[in-house]
Amino acid sequence: MSGAGEILVVGLGPGPEFWRTPEASAALERATDLVGYQPYLARCPERPGQMRHGSDNRVELERARLAIDLASAGRVVAVVSGGDPGVFAMAAAVVEAVEADAAARHLSVTVMPGVSAMQAAAARLGAPLGHDFCAISLSDNLKPWTLVERRLRAAAAGDFVVALYNPASKARPTRIFDAFDLLRNVKAGSTPVAFARAVGRPDERIVVTTLAEADPSIVDMATLVIIGSSESRLIDRPGGTPWILSPRQAGGGAA
Amino acid sequence: MSGAGEILVVGLGPGPEFWRTPEASAALERATDLVGYQPYLARCPERPGQMRHGSDNRVELERARLAIDLASAGRVVAVVSGGDPGVFAMAAAVVEAVEADAAARHLSVTVMPGVSAMQAAAARLGAPLGHDFCAISLSDNLKPWTLVERRLRAAAAGDFVVALYNPASKARPTRIFDAFDLLRNVKAGSTPVAFARAVGRPDERIVVTTLAEADPSIVDMATLVIIGSSESRLIDRPGGTPWILSPRQAGGGAA
C-alpha cells in the first residue's frame, strides 16, 4: 500500500440512510478500511476489497490506535460512530490517541459530523430542545458518579433541558434510577420527560410522560432520555404521541 | 390546490450540501413552498414552480403562521432553518404556532433534523464536545439576561463544556463581553476557547485561544463559541489550528 494514509472520523447519524450526510456516505465509499463497534459497521454498505475491523464496545482507544496504525501504513481509514462522532463517540478517542503518538500528529485526520441521537429524538417530539439545553452521559466507566450528580444538580439549577445519553447498561443498570431520584428532588413532578429509543430504526419506541410518572426501567443503551426545563410543556397531538415544547420565550422561573 | 397540506420543518445544516441530510434535500425537492429567513432560502436550489416566501430575522412566529396558512390550503410547505431546526431554530416556533391554532393541530408536521453549528465547529476542532456539554443562546430577545447569567453560572458550576449560540448582534453587541466577564470570574484563564465562524462556508474562520486571552470583539451572529471544561486541553497540530480535546476520562476536578 502506498500513498498518504488518512483517518476519517465518520458519524453515521441515528440509523437510516436519509439521516446520513453525503460527506459521511462518500467517506464510506472512499475508505480502504472501516474501523468501529460491530453494530455500527453492520450499518455500512458492503464494498468489494474494503477491509472491516469490528470490535466490541468499550475499547475506543484500542480502536483509535488501530486506525492510526492502518493510516500510518498508507490506508484510508474510516472510524465509524453512530450519531455524531463528536458527541459521546469516537472523535475524543481518536484525538486522544493521536495526542499520545508523536508520529501520528502528522496524519491527516478529518472529523465528519452527523445527526446525534438527541436531535433525532427532538425531531420526533416537536421542540423539546427549543431552548438552552445540556447533554450528559450517564456512563460512569470513565468518570466518577459524583461528577454525574454534580452535573445533574447544575443542570437543574440552571433550569436547562437535559438530554441523557447512555442511560443504562448491564454493568450499571441502576444509574438511571439514581439520576431520576436526584432530579425528582429538585424539579417539578409535572416536568415533561421523553424516552426515545432507536429513533429512525425499525424498533423505534417513544414514550412521553412526566418526571413524576416516568418509569426509568424501560431504558436501555439505545434510549435517549429528555427531561424538560421548568418552561417545557406537553402538547397533545390528535392520534399521536404528544409533543414537548421548550418555548423560545422564557421568563426565568425557578427550577 | 387540492390534497392534504403538510409542514416540513427542515434543517439545512451548517451550509455546504455535503452536510445536508438526504431527507432534507428530498423535502426541498418535494415542497411546493419554501418559507424561511432570506439567507437560508438563498441556500436552497431553485425549482421551477416552487414558491419562496422569504422573511426578515426575528419574525419566527409570523413565519410559522404563514406555513400553517399555506399548509391548511393544501400546500406542502418546507420551513427552512440553518443547522438543526430543533436547536435555536424554527421547530419551536412552528410547534408554538400549531399549539395556538386548534385547526392546525390536524396538520401533518414533520421535523427533519440537521447538523447544528456546534457540531460543525466541533468537527473542525477535534473533540471539544467530547464530554458533557451545554448549549446556551446569548440572545435576550425572548428571555431575560438574568436567565442567561444563571445558566452560565450553572454551566460553570457543573464544569460543562459550553457552546454559545447567537453571541452578538447589532441590537446587543456587548452581551458576549458580559458573558466572558462572568465566565472569567468562575473558570480558569487557561480554559480553551474557540470562535468558529461560518464553518463549512467560504468565509469560514476559526480562532483557538484561551479564556484569559480571548478577544470576544471578533464574534458576529455567524460565530459559534465553545468554552472548555476544566479538563479540556489544547493539542498542537503541525501546520494547523490546534485541536481542543475534552477527554472522555474525567476526574471530577473543580471548575
| Residue ranges per structural domain of chain B | 6-115, 118-245
C-alpha–C-alpha distance, residues B227 and B153, integer Å: 13
DSSP state of A128: T
pLDDT score for A254:
36
| pLDDT of A115 over the 70 cut | yes
* Residues of B with Cβ-Cβ distance to A250 under 8 angstroms: 142-144, 147
| pLDDT of A14 over the 60 cut | yes
* Residues of A with Cβ-Cβ distance to B124 under 8 angstroms: 111
Q: Put residue A14 in one of left, alpha, beta given phi > 0 → left and psi -120 to 50 → alpha.
A: alpha
C-alpha–C-alpha distance, residues A130 and B148, integer Å: 15
Between chains, do A111 and B98 touch, taking CB under 8 Å as contact? no
Using one digit for the tens of pLDDT, what is the confidence trace for B51-73? Answer: 999 998 778 999 999 999 999 99
Phi first, then psi, for residue B214 (nearest 5°) are -65, 140
Secondary structure E strands in chain A: 6-11, 33-37, 51-55, 76-81, 108-112, 126-127, 133-137, 161-165, 192-197, 205-210, 223-227, 233-235, 243-245
Averaged pLDDT, B185-199:
98
ipTM: 0.96
Distance of alpha carbon A239 from its chain centroid, rounded?
A: 29
CA distance B164 to chain A (A): 10
Give the chain B residue whose CA is nearest to the CA of A149: B158
DSSP state of B13: B
| pLDDT of B254 over the 70 cut | no
C-alpha–C-alpha distance, residues A128 and B58, integer Å: 20
pLDDT score for A253:
39
* Residues of B with Cβ-Cβ distance to A92 under 8 angstroms: 127, 130-131, 245-248
Between chains, do A135 and B136 touch, taking CB under 8 Å as contact? no
pLDDT score for A142:
84
At what angle are helices B60-72 and B90-99 packed, to 10 degrees?
Answer: 60
| pLDDT of B118 over the 60 cut | yes
CA distance A128 to chain B (A): 8
CA distance A156 to chain B (A): 8
Among all chains, which residue has been given the C-alpha cell 472520523?
Answer: A9
Domain boundaries A6-115, corresponding CATH code? 3.40.1010.10
CA distance B52 to chain A (A): 24
Averaged pLDDT, A121-147:
93
pLDDT score for A173:
80
| Res. B168 pLDDT band, cuts 50 70 90 | confident
Domain boundaries A118-245, corresponding CATH code? 3.30.950.10
- Please indicate whether the domains covering B6-115 and B118-245 agree at the CATH topology level: no
Using one digit for the tens of pLDDT, what is the confidence trace for A228-247? Answer: 999 999 999 988 899 999 99
Between chains, do B92 and A23 touch, taking CB under 8 Å as contact? no
| Res. B180 pLDDT band, cuts 50 70 90 | very high
Using one digit for the tens of pLDDT, what is the confidence trace for A60-114? Answer: 999 999 999 999 999 999 999 999 999 999 999 999 999 999 999 999 999 999 9
Percent of chain B with pLDDT over 90: 86
Using one digit for the tens of pLDDT, what is the confidence trace for B17-46? Answer: 999 999 999 999 999 999 999 999 999 999
Burial class (CB in 10 A: 0-12, 13-18, 19+), B185: exposed
**Residue B160: partners with Cβ closer than 8 Å, 6 or more residues away:** A134, A151, A154, B132, B133, B134, B229
Between chains, do A92 and B159 touch, taking CB under 8 Å as contact? no
